[in-house]
Amino acid sequence: MRIELTVNGDRRQCDAWGGESLLFVLREQLGLPGSKNACEQGECGSCSVLLDGELAAGQADGCEVTTVEGLADGDRLHPVQQAFVEAGAVQCGFCTPGLVVAAADLLAANASPTDDEIREALSGNICRCTGYQKILDAVHLAAGRTDGEREGGR
Ligand code: FES
């Protein structure tokens, strides 16, 4: 089937089998490799994207998709991306795109989350490297910088 969707602000079209995963379409057909396929089962969160502004996956025809590539504003990193760098929350980096998207979604809804709220919001994203403390630090660091922003301030 021919699908048309908005990805990171651009209208895109491609041919996709109706049962194809959005991740495959993004990575292999639309050339956006930021979203990862770490567990290959949709369980670890490395594939997280925003679908119509909400953290989700599923049917994308006609939807607006935001991937990690779409969070930055040109050369200016999204506050969550910048905070992950500054807080040292990136080690191997495989989990990072999904965590950044999930954290951006959290902060768009809750500008000052508690540790428990961050843990709950990021509970679908698995990191094997950091022990999570630096990720918590990064989200707190970004929290004060994202007031009024939604999906990178679009
Ligand atoms: S930084 Fe390696 S899995 Fe999270």
- Give the tens place of pLDDT for each residue, 42-71: 889 899 999 888 876 556 778 899 999 999
Residue 40 half-sphere exposure toward CB, CA atoms < 13 A: 0
Q: Is 127 in the pocket of ligand 1 (CB under 6 A)?
A: yes
pTM across the whole model: 0.81
Q: Is 130 in the pocket of ligand 1 (CB under 6 A)?
A: yes
Q: Is the pLDDT of residue 74 over 80?
A: yes
Q: What is the predicted pLDDT for the residue at 150? A: 47
Mapping DSSP onto H, E and C, the string for the chain reads: CEEEEEECCEEEEEECCCCCCHHHHHHHHCCCCCCCCCCCCCCCCCCCEEECCEEECCCCCCCEEECHHHCCECCECCHHHHHHHHCCCCCCCCCHHHHHHHHHHHHHHCCCCCHHHHHHHCCCCCCCCCCCHHHHHHHHHHHCCCCCCCCCCC
| Protein residue with least CA distance to atom 2, ligand 1 | 92
Q: What is the predicted pLDDT for the residue at 67? A: 92
CA of 98 to the centre of ligand 1 (A): 11
Atom of ligand 1 at shortest distance to CA of 92? Answer: 2
Q: Is 14 in the pocket of ligand 1 (CB under 6 A)?
A: no
133-143 and 96-109 helices, crossing angle to 10°? 40
* Residue 93: partners with Cβ closer than 8 Å, 6 or more residues away: none
Task: Assign 152 a pLDDT band (cuts: 50, 70, 90).
Answer: very low
Q: Is 44 in the pocket of ligand 1 (CB under 6 A)?
A: no
In this structure, of 80-84, 113-117, 122-126, 133-137, the range with the lowest mean pLDDT score is 122-126
| Protein residue with least CA distance to atom 4, ligand 1 | 127
